[in-house]
Amino acid sequence: MGWKSMTGYGRAECERDGRIWSVEVRSVNNRFLDAKIRLPRDYGQLEDGIRRRVAEFHQRGRVDLSLSVGGDFSDLVSIRFDAKIAATYQQALHSLAAHTGLSPDIDLLHFANLPDILIREQRSEDLDAIAPSIDRVVCEALQRCLEMRVKEAAHLSEDLGRRLRSFATVLASIEDHLPELISQRETALKERLDKLLGHVELDPARLAQEVAMLADKTDVTEELVRLHSHIKQFDDLLESPEPVGRTLDFLIQEFLREVNTMASKINDARIAQQTVALKSELEKMREQVQNIE
């Protein structure tokens, strides 16, 4: 079984130069691919590459990918001093000492704490240098999410297979009951005609025509043929290595269309209960199918 669920989670980390990058991926079902990428400030130029990676692992679904960074950033920090401002402070302090008669001795630490003398600067990350590391951790998180999606798809496949077999069993029961139902309706028609016409002799040709019309109204041969075809297609798709979610969803709609048509034609209490059971299975199958990529 090669297809995948759209529901999954993956997480990965990597470390370089004292910094730790963490990637988390969460995915849920969606008709199309909708990727939401959250990156640290100043990492924006990496978004397009990450988005392409997401598209390699996901054909559709809502995918939330977040990248965070922590650790040691000391290599990006530098301290410099403003020589002009320092000289201005020094001149002002000497002038103040001469004016007040105080000692002009200046303590370096106090001097350094004067505003705007020491300036802290933090350089931006060299994104070209770290891009390969980011790409590796993104791929690792997406791969772990994929592994979870494949496992989930295997469970979905088993459940859908069981429900498809249950559907086929109920459908076979309906088919087995149809000849008896037609016979009962033919008998009921004759009895009604006898009551209406009393002792008037029935025209055999006319009676046969009425019976044929009755049989035609309740004939569900086409619906049954199509339902069996859908069952075969659905069963084949469960083994397909290709993405089949949309095709399965379409088939479920076709199943429901034929079951509803069959129920309206037959109009029998017993079979009505069975068609309710069929539709119940189909609704459960549709919920599962909507999680398949």
What are the pLDDT digits (tens) for 236-285? Answer: 998 888 888 999 999 999 999 999 988 888 777 788 888 899 999 999 99
Measured distance CA(43)–CA(5) in Å, rounded: 30
Q: What is the mean pLDDT of the chain?
A: 85
Same domain, 215 and 244: yes
Q: What is the pLDDT of residues 194-210, one digit of tens each?
A: 665 555 565 666 555 65
Q: What is the pLDDT of residues 53-72, one digit of tens each?
A: 999 999 999 999 999 998 77
Q: Are strands 19-28 and 8-16 parallel, antiparallel or unpaired?
A: antiparallel
Please report the pLDDT score of residue 53 as a whole number: 97
Same domain, 144 and 159: no
- Domain membership of residue 275 (yes or no) is yes
**Of the candidates 254, 287, 21, which has an alpha carbon nearest to the alpha carbon of residue 129?**
21
Same domain, 110 and 188: no
Please report the pLDDT score of residue 35 as a whole number: 97
Please report the pLDDT score of residue 264 as a whole number: 82
- Domain membership of residue 224 (yes or no) is yes
Q: What is the pLDDT of residues 78-130, one digit of tens each?
A: 788 888 888 888 888 888 888 887 777 777 887 788 888 888 777 778 888 88
- Domain membership of residue 160 (yes or no) is yes
Same domain, 93 and 50: no
- Domain membership of residue 2 (yes or no) is no
Residues facing residue 20 across a β-bridge = 15, 70
What's the domain range around 212? 151-289
> What amino acid occupies position 274?
Q
Burial degree of 259 (CB within 10 A; 0-12, 13-18, 19+): buried
Same domain, 161 and 143: no
Same domain, 53 and 99: no
Q: What is the pLDDT of residues 134-156, one digit of tens each?
A: 999 999 999 999 999 999 999 99
Residues facing residue 33 across a β-bridge = 61
136 or 217, higher pLDDT:
136
User: How many structural domains does the chain have?
Assistant: 3
Under a CB-based contact definition with an 8 Å cutoff, are residues 9 and 148 in contact? Answer: yes
Q: Are strands 61-71 and 33-38 parallel, antiparallel or unpaired?
A: parallel
Same domain, 99 and 204: no
Please report the pLDDT score of residue 1 as a whole number: 46
Please report the pLDDT score of residue 81 as a whole number: 82
Same domain, 133 and 13: yes
Measured distance CA(253)–CA(259) in Å, rounded: 10
Q: Taking the CA of residue 181 as centre, how many other CA atoms within 13 Å lie in the half-sphere pointing to its CB?
A: 20
Residue 8 binned pLDDT confidence (cut-offs 50, 70, 90): very high
Under a CB-based contact definition with an 8 Å cutoff, are residues 35 and 51 in contact? Answer: yes
Residue 39 has pLDDT above 60, yes or no: yes
Please report the pLDDT score of residue 190 as a whole number: 63
